[in-house]
Amino acid sequence: MNQTDKTITIVIAAGGTSGHIYPAFAIATGIKKTLPSVKFIFCGAPGGLEQKMVENEGYEFFPIPAQNMPNRHDRRY
How many CA within 13 A on the CB side of residue 71? 3
Give residue 17's domain range.
8-63
Residue 56 domain-assigned (yes or no): yes
Distance CA 66, CA 45 (A): 5
Residue 72 domain-assigned (yes or no): no
Residue 73 φ/ψ, nearest 5 degrees: -90, -5
Residue 71 domain-assigned (yes or no): no
Per-residue confidence (pLDDT) for residue 3, from 0 to 100: 58
Regions of the chain where pLDDT drops below 70: 1-5, 67-77
Q: How many domains does the chain have?
A: 1
What sign does the CA torsion over 20, 56, 13, 3 have? negative
Residue 77 domain-assigned (yes or no): no
Residue 48 domain-assigned (yes or no): yes
Per-residue confidence (pLDDT) for residue 18, from 0 to 100: 77
